[in-house]
Structure 1
Amino acid sequence: MTSTAPKKLPPLPVLRAIERVRDALGTLHRKLVPGHIALLELQIAGFLSQAISAAAELGIADELAEGPRTPAKLAGALGIDEGGLRRLMRLLVSYGVFAQRRDGSYELTRIGDALRSDAEVTLRDLSRFFGSPYHRNHWTHLTDAVRTGEAVGQALDGASFFEYAAVNREVGELFDNAMTSVSTLAIEPLLAAYDFGRFGTLIDVGGGRGSLLTEILGRYPAAQGIVFDLPNVVDDLTADLEAAGLGQRCTVESGSFFEEVPQGGDVYLLKHIVHDWSDTHAEQILRTVRAAMRPTSTLLLLELVLPDHQRPHPGKFIDLEMLVNTEGGHERTEAEFRALLARSGFTLVRTVETAAPDCVLEAVPR
């Protein structure tokens, strides 16, 4: 596979400075308006999220990718009510998701472009998943999850999320596609922040459809890799790797990371795996990986790391997602990761920030 040219990302200090300014302006706004107004603004943000999900489900961005459309032509192409479309777009235009020209036609913006199904970095399926009846129903029971400290899946569905998604493939496939979107968001910042050039064989544990490893191997032609995941996840993945020109450099193995993972890798990647599990289960996964590693191997966890500050951070949202939908999964601070790794036979060497919310936690066997 031919390596793609790295995208130019702003320097990390610049991004962090912008985040601090943004957070400060948000805090100032909330302090200047009456408390009940600030609370109301926060509360109705959920309406905006659902409106974006509706736009994703309807395929509005895909239609506008062909060029500006009048409300009548857009509604006709989508097979929906023009009045309902106008009302949805009025809200989304006001937040810059779409734009409305002087002639009344709608067009894409750089924000709405990410809702295209064929965008280089698409969030369409992620938006559809967050707005799906399944996900909304679970979040309706956030109060129960907070009260009990337990996920709501068993009470609502009779199964944990992963068990339910494995059987109900409409939900499972939507979730898988949504997680591929999240993976795409993290890949470029990861490659910009971390040098994989010193590793010969990379093993992506829980690697899904291999999007991360495919991109890494494309950037590092001398490297080889193994994608490891459950049999139903990696089914037919070998054909995809061959089509991508990686048939000679990347293989596929299947199994459970609770039992055994491929041996002998120079580096073991676990992206967004550990946060899905309780400390007990996470330690079991890490010990399985530790047993397969050589003394000179390296472990890389790509995860959100909860900050010590009290400003907004994506990890604080996802932590509640873990509470609602996983059996004991949660986001962790760097200190909590350090302790978890130590109990599992690792020493945390360093934490590397990326331009995305994710960090790279680099650890070695003890």
Structure 2
Amino acid sequence: MQSQSIPPSASLLQMMAGRWVAQAIFAAAKLGIADRVKDGPVSVEALAEATGVHAPSLYRVLRALASIGVFVESEPGLFGTTPIADCLRSDAPGSLRAFALMMGDAWHQRSWSDILYSVETGKPSTLRLYGVDTVFEYLAAQPEAGAHFDEAMTGFATQVHRAAVASYDFSGVRRLVDVGGGHGALLAAILSRHPEVRGVVFDQPHVVRGAQPNLERAGVAARCELIGGDFFRAVPGGADAYILSAIVHDWSDEDAAVLLQNIRRAIVDGGRLLLVESVIQPGNTPDFGKLLDLEMLITCGGRERTEAEFRALLAAAGFRLARVFPTASATSVIEAVPA
């Protein structure tokens, strides 16, 4: 809602400056400033010397970020950390440093600069810019950008997983398949909390191989199986629960329906399907998912969905939406059962 004390034109200018803020955060993340000030305030001269940049220009970046709470200028030219800056530390649980780097990467900036193509055609701008249907194909051939993306998704997912595990009761589940489970972080968190559950990490063969170290560190490897495959062809059968975290939003309704139909064929009677996704809020309610929806449109042709849209998508695949569990993150756990 528009503040009574800020003119509409000033509010609009602040919104349009959001890209400036993101790029300033990118610069600070690239230079590792949050790591360098975590133990106490550091002078801009020392920071510039350590990072090999122009001290007066670095000061201007940090001054701007301090004005919005990212850092704090405790004395002239002396910068320290804040709770927001701590999220940019490379050693922070669920660090958002890689997410900031991804947001500033050239491919991401260029993709958003071509938003009108996506609005005009309904197709991701990556199709015109890079000749690929989704950004995943492009990133596979770009090691540095791909690494930023993978790390960004890991940091974001850590927060989502923690919230999902805390918000949903997995008791009663015997065998849980994490479809598109990547390196097993979500399944490790669930199995650590529920020792009676056995699990399967299912993803592409080259991806799922990286799950073993995570499962061993969590002490759950003995209760978990790794299976490689293509979820558009089939998923492992015989489980009483399947979970997909931030997978369905990557795909159009048509592609998502194929994936969910494969799960419907594999799930046992009385089983449950769990989707960890943003659920778009109605009307003018502020919602991070509404902005994330644009990211999906531009980069991969996917979409975020309302509860009604999830209900229809699930019904088309032979499921009935049972309940939606909000979490402390920007996502919810959607529980569905065979119809």
Counterpart selection for 1:346 from 309, 319, 324: 319
3-state DSSP of counterpart to 2:221: coil
> How does the TM-score come out when normalised to structure 2?
0.96
In 2, are the aligned partners of 1:129 and 1:174 still within 8 Å (CA)? yes
Paired residue total = 338
The answer for the alignment partner of 2:153 in structure 1 is: 179
In 2, are the aligned partners of 1:125 and 1:178 still within 8 Å (CA)? yes
3-state DSSP of counterpart to 1:222: coil
Let me know the Cα RMSD of the aligned residues.
1.4
Q: Could you say which structure has the greater relative contact order, defined with CA pairs below 8 angstroms and 6 or more residues apart? A: 1
The answer for the alignment partner of 2:273 in structure 1 is: 299
Structure 2 residue 45 is the aligned partner of structure 1 residue 83? no
In 1, are the aligned partners of 2:200 and 2:224 still within 8 Å (CA)? yes
Structure 2 residue 91 is the aligned partner of structure 1 residue 118? yes
What does residue range 31-110 of structure 1 map to in structure 2 within 5 Å?
31-102=4-75, 104-110=77-83
The answer for the alignment partner of 1:308 in structure 2 is: 282
In 2, are the aligned partners of 1:264 and 1:292 still within 8 Å (CA)? yes
In 2, are the aligned partners of 1:208 and 1:229 still within 8 Å (CA)? yes
Distance 2:212 2:163 in 1: 26
Distance 2:221 2:2 in 1: 54
The answer for the alignment partner of 2:223 in structure 1 is: 249
3-state DSSP of counterpart to 2:283: coil
The alpha-carbon deviation at position 103 of structure 1 amounts to 6.0
Query: Which structure 2 residue ranges, 5 or more long, are not aligned?
Result: none
The answer for the alignment partner of 1:362 in structure 2 is: 335
In 2, are the aligned partners of 1:203 and 1:265 still within 8 Å (CA)? yes
Distance 1:103 1:147 in 2: 49
The alpha-carbon deviation at position 32 of structure 1 amounts to 4.4
Distance 1:169 1:266 in 2: 38
The answer for the alignment partner of 2:164 in structure 1 is: 190
* 1:50-70 deviation per Cα after TM superposition (whole angstroms, max 9, x unaligned): 111111111111111243211
The alpha-carbon deviation at position 102 of structure 1 amounts to 2.6
In 2, are the aligned partners of 1:145 and 1:323 still within 8 Å (CA)? yes
* 1:21-71 deviation per Cα after TM superposition (whole angstroms, max 9, x unaligned): xxxxxx241x54333222112111221111111111111111112432111
The alpha-carbon deviation at position 167 of structure 1 amounts to 2.4
The answer for the alignment partner of 2:206 in structure 1 is: 232
Counterpart selection for 1:146 from 97, 119, 125: 119
Distance 1:60 1:230 in 2: 36
Query: Which structure 1 residue ranges, 5 or more long, are not aligned?
Result: 1-26
Distance 1:355 1:244 in 2: 23
* 1:300-356 deviation per Cα after TM superposition (whole angstroms, max 9, x unaligned): 0011011112022111101111111113x1111101100110010101111111121
Distance 1:148 1:233 in 2: 32
Distance 1:130 1:323 in 2: 16
The answer for the alignment partner of 2:310 in structure 1 is: 337
The answer for the alignment partner of 1:263 in structure 2 is: 237
The answer for the alignment partner of 1:15 in structure 2 is: none
Structure 2 residue 144 is the aligned partner of structure 1 residue 165? no
> How does the TM-score come out when normalised to structure 1?
0.89
The answer for the alignment partner of 2:177 in structure 1 is: 203
In 2, are the aligned partners of 1:228 and 1:255 still within 8 Å (CA)? yes
3-state DSSP of counterpart to 1:186: helix
The answer for the alignment partner of 1:217 in structure 2 is: 191
3-state DSSP of counterpart to 1:259: coil
In 2, are the aligned partners of 1:238 and 1:251 still within 8 Å (CA)? no
Rate the CA distance shift 1:109–1:33 in 2: closer, same or farther, 3 A.
Answer: closer
The share of aligned pairs that are identical, in percent, is 43
